[in-house]
Amino acid sequence: MNEQIKKLAEQAGIYQPDRFDAIDGSNQMKKFAQLIVQECMCISDSIGEHGYIAAEEMGKHFGVEE
């Protein structure tokens, strides 16, 4: 999982590094985070002339493909 997503999950209290591998929902949490980033990327991509640049940067930052 991307370090940025891990940091945000930890801040939200849903990621505990010492127990993460034992949590059954870890793959679900990763997928949920990726879906949120993808939605943000789609919105950014559609809002204007240079929105695609922001979408690309978001994807890079969070390690998510469109």
Nearest CA to 33 out of 66, 11, 64 is that of 64
Q: How far apart are CA 35 and CA 66, in angstroms?
A: 10
Q: Which residue has the tokens 């930890």?
A: 10
Q: Which two tokens stand for residue 52?
A: 């695609």
Please report the pLDDT score of residue 20 as a whole number. Answer: 57
Per domain, the residue ranges of the chain are 3-62
Q: Which of the four pLDDT bands, split at 50, 70 and 90, describes residue 10?
A: confident
Please report the pLDDT score of residue 43 as a whole number. Answer: 93
Q: How far apart are CA 59 and CA 57, in angstroms?
A: 5
Does 15 have pLDDT greater than 60?
Answer: yes
pLDDT by residue (tens digit) across 17-39? 776 554 555 677 788 889 999 99
